[in-house]
Structure 1
């Protein structure tokens, strides 16, 4: 007896998540391109923040979208994990997919400062440019940790449900208490607790009640999140701005405070209330086309949007003496669209050159690394990316090679290699060290030439 085999039906994409992620990355770009207040005089680049304008802190409650990024990432990670053949296969694909777009950035930017020195750019603007190009790598470092923990956190989600993010938020409160009682460095532990708690909420969207909330319930959730955030700002030690401000004694972002977890609840509730409208918006053909284009390029857009800003600022501020008008004035409002458009054109050119690293459908070679080796690779990569975020891409002119970005670049590059082919445990340490030293020596020789 013959049986007809039904063709495999490809699962439909969740357009709501696509819109949320695209909106988040566009919000990040818009904020980062419009908030710098720049001027140049006497070899010094002065930098300020437009969002430090009195009253503009309220804008950061919407423009601080990192909670949304981790929420959408949690939902997408759970969806892709349950489609994968195994946790090892999923982790191998995710770690290499996240690291691959970083490789061209790390190949280009350590060389840029020396090239700019050769044409007479002063040292202080170089240091600022190198820091700006690298500082946002902190996100990828922390996100890699959430990816490594995702299989464990999914198991915890299925066993304990909402108790998991609640406990993590409680731990974040305790971390904040210690931080504000003269144990400042412990606050960086909330880079794990806060963002993992928000990431966990993404699981509850995919497998839980969040995905099917009524509009009233979603608005109630939003009001509770924003209400608690407002109370913590009004009566607690937390600043009103949800991003770090120049000269402020405390930042909600670096390290993250638990107030961002409650801000996430407010933002997520608002988005869920608007879900039908967002899905209808995504169904328009031009919007759907744009979402299909940006979806495979999210990380490349994120990594290169600040270098695009450096290019435009270098040409206009350093080259032509342009100074940012007073934020909020009619002149600032008139100039901002042109500034964003110019930076967008530069970013588009960079994407034409570098997005292929992310959009290629398959990574070359077969991944044979086992699960422990993948975890080691992810941890090492996270450390390398944090080092780059902290130190920038610009090495002081008279400093040795190990005081610049090269060790962190080498560590991240070696991590990418470790996430590929399997290396016996007995040889892993020597293999890692050898590749790092070889890359460092090659860079030293290239600089000497």
Structure 2
């Protein structure tokens, strides 16, 4: 507690604390949402299985317009990446050094999860567990990696995309929205392959708005680079986004639900659709409306200390929350006390309370074990207006040093290759079917690609390959 109090006291007045709060709330809502809609049952062989309750509860679909908070996370990510990249350059660093150091916070906690799952799967296989069953368990535990794939693609694109933002401002996300519309047209009329780019264009569009939000710190910048943040602008965004959302879902061809529901004509989130971007606009308006009262509240020490504490382990919470669910289901099933009430029944709703409480306790234990890996990846060192909105920034091995252009290009190429290996590994795992016979739970090529990429990034962070 003393450490949190010290960190809170050192926070400069210029820091945008609201961004930290949004990140913590977004991940908390994802965790509670996944846990809350989980339905546990048994397959024909008697083994526990799970699925989402959304397909059985269509009346809750409009709630996903707020519960689908990944747009908020990408908005905050854009702000954070613009802030930390600007701070790095202000200290004499470069984009490559920023990219290498940024990988620590993302890759180290993810590596811990994958290694633990692979080791656990290997032990289970040696004890005679079927490889298909192992894969099914690991598949559930690694569902959060779908989101991380998209974010790990967006992060290395930050330097060129921020350069585009500096030149063209808000025109960039408008163009990206147009590309999403083209992809949706392909999904509706064909060819469906046109929509593949929406996985990138949709999230990039929201990420660019984070750049525009960050640039509001400099009122002398051209208006095209700054996000309108007045109360009037917030109301326009909220009302306009909500109108577009209703027209596109209730009247138009898009599902009302913003999360995946099997059997629906389209999936608004995979890839992101125009309807999801309308929801993102609605959420942006609401975020801006609540900004001033939230900022005043965060000036108090205790709320701000809580936000700092959550942000120190926020990725760990996200990565391990479904592993906690797998462990709890396995434990209750082994004890013969796993409740499987019918979804939507009174018993099912009553079970939500002890279910969420037990999961919170188990996740807290996992975070206590694995959270320090993330917390050590980043020091909290708030500086001036250029400091990022996360728990701090580090000027380390990636800071520019004297050296030839060839060495700098090589280092940049290795950083991009490292990210590519990590993304390829995570993507291959996500695309591998749930029932595939994988003795390690993860496809071997996926694990090799990921560890190779993570290893390259780790070497670069240690200073390997640095010029000078």
Q: Contact 1:308 / 1:347 at 8 angstroms: preserved in 2? A: yes
Shift of 1:395: 5.9
Aligned to 1:193: 201
SS across alignment from 1:48: strand
Q: What do residues 202-258 of structure 1 show as CA deviations (whole Å, max 9, x unaligned)?
A: 111111476662223202211111211211112332111000013334211122222
Q: TM-score, normalization: structure 2?
A: 0.81
Paired with 1:331 and 1:277, the residues of 2 have a C-alpha distance of 39
Residue among 313, 323, 337 paired with 2:329: 313
Aligned to 1:263: 279
Q: What do residues 54-85 of structure 1 show as CA deviations (whole Å, max 9, x unaligned)?
A: 31101111110011110010011101110002
SS across alignment from 1:245: coil
Output aligned runs, 1:85-164, within 5 Å. 85-116=93-124, 126-164=134-172
* CA 1:356–1:366: 2 relative to 1, 3 Å: same
* CA 1:118–1:268: 2 relative to 1, 3 Å: same
Residue among 364, 376, 383 paired with 2:417: 376
Aligned to 1:50: 53
- More divergent stretch after superposition (267-276 vs 210-219): 210-219
Q: Contact 2:62 / 2:257 at 8 angstroms: preserved in 1? A: yes
Shift of 1:111: 2.7
Aligned to 1:281: 297
Shift of 1:125: 5.1
Is there any run of 5+ residues in structure 2 with no aligned partner, and where?
1-9, 217-222, 380-393, 399-407
Higher relative contact order (CA 8 A, sep 6+): 2
* CA 1:17–1:422: 2 relative to 1, 3 Å: closer
Paired with 2:342 and 2:307, the residues of 1 have a C-alpha distance of 35
SS across alignment from 1:47: strand
Q: TM-score, normalization: structure 1?
A: 0.84
Paired with 1:405 and 1:11, the residues of 2 have a C-alpha distance of 48
What RMSD over aligned residues (CA atoms) do the two structures have, in Å? 2.8
Paired with 1:299 and 1:190, the residues of 2 have a C-alpha distance of 24
Output aligned runs, 1:13-412, within 5 Å. 13-40=15-42, 42-52=45-55, 53-84=57-88, 85-116=93-124, 126-208=134-216, 213-317=229-333, 319-360=335-376, 361=378, 366=397, 370-391=411-432, 396=437, 404-412=442-450
Shift of 1:422: 5.9
Aligned to 1:4: none
Count of residues in correspondence between the two structures: 414
Is there any run of 5+ residues in structure 1 with no aligned partner, and where?
1-7, 429-449
